[in-house]
Amino acid sequence: MESKNSCQLEPRSLTFLEKARMMSQIKIRIFELPPIGTNAYLIINEDLGKAALFDSPFGAKVEVDKQLERHDAELDGVWLTHGHWDHILDVHEFNKVGVPIFAHMEDEVLIKNPELMASFSIPGIEYHPGKVDGYLEDGQEIEIVGVKTRVVHTPGHSPGSISFIMEDLNWVISGDVIFAGSVGRTDFPGCSHEALMESIRKQFFPLDPQMIIYPGHGPKTTVGQERSLNPFLSEM
Ligand SMILES: [Zn+2]
Ligand SMILES: [Zn+2]
């Protein structure tokens, strides 16, 4: 127990202040992009003048460039939650200007050969092969634009699906693993509903119920809301 007349700040208060400071310097910009409403998230650290993009749907490059100019920031890299066509259509645009792309090794084949998913997409899409510059794996702790980030492997919707947990901001970028009121499709090649449910149980259930989930489609939600209201998780 802390003594009541202690003049020292408690470590807990410091953590709170640091978190508050972190929250105030980090901005998140959400782009819902065509052709099927795929979310891309741009995280900007205004103190550092750096930004990070999570997923790269069609039109992401144009939207990101506008924000970088507005915030006078530089793009450090693109982090991909998975390799499905709707999340990677603009990867080649970032390759062209030398922005590094990070993904899980098991989805690299989809990024290199996006036409593999053509029969599951919609007609008239132009595919360009993307290049991955660095691999991410389960349990990896990295710093992305000054934010401590834990990578967790969350297979099921695709073999190389990963989620990005930022505990200091109380955010998780989940890709197509979990949505507000739903979970990822598992009727594509290489998908497994059992693996998906196990990923959610193992990686999402232990998280703070107030943690915000930023999914690959649709509105943001929280871990607690999905644990109590998501019909796909009701029997877990
Ligand atoms: Zn997907
Ligand atoms: Zn998607």
Q: What average pLDDT does the segment 182-208 reach?
A: 95
Superfamily grouping for domain 11-233? Ribonuclease Z/Hydroxyacylglutathione hydrolase-like (3.60.15.10)
C-alpha–C-alpha distance, residues 114 and 87, integer Å: 10
Q: What is the pLDDT of residue 179?
A: 97
For residue 191, the CA-to-ligand 1 centroid distance in Å is 10
Q: What average pLDDT does the segment 47-52 reach?
A: 96
For residue 85, the CA-to-ligand 2 centroid distance in Å is 8
Q: What is the pLDDT of residue 17?
A: 83
Write the pLDDT tens digit of every residue in 76-107.
999 999 999 999 999 999 999 999 999 999 99
- Residue 3 CB coordination number (10 Å): 7
Q: What is the pLDDT of residue 69?
A: 97
Nearest ligand for residue 39 CA: 2
Average of per-residue pLDDT values in the chain = 92
Q: What average pLDDT does the segment 148-155 reach?
A: 97
For residue 70, the CA-to-ligand 1 centroid distance in Å is 30
For residue 1, the CA-to-ligand 1 centroid distance in Å is 48
For residue 86, the CA-to-ligand 1 centroid distance in Å is 7
β-pair type (171-175, 178-179): unpaired
Q: What is the pLDDT of residue 116?
A: 87
Nearest ligand for residue 38 CA: 2
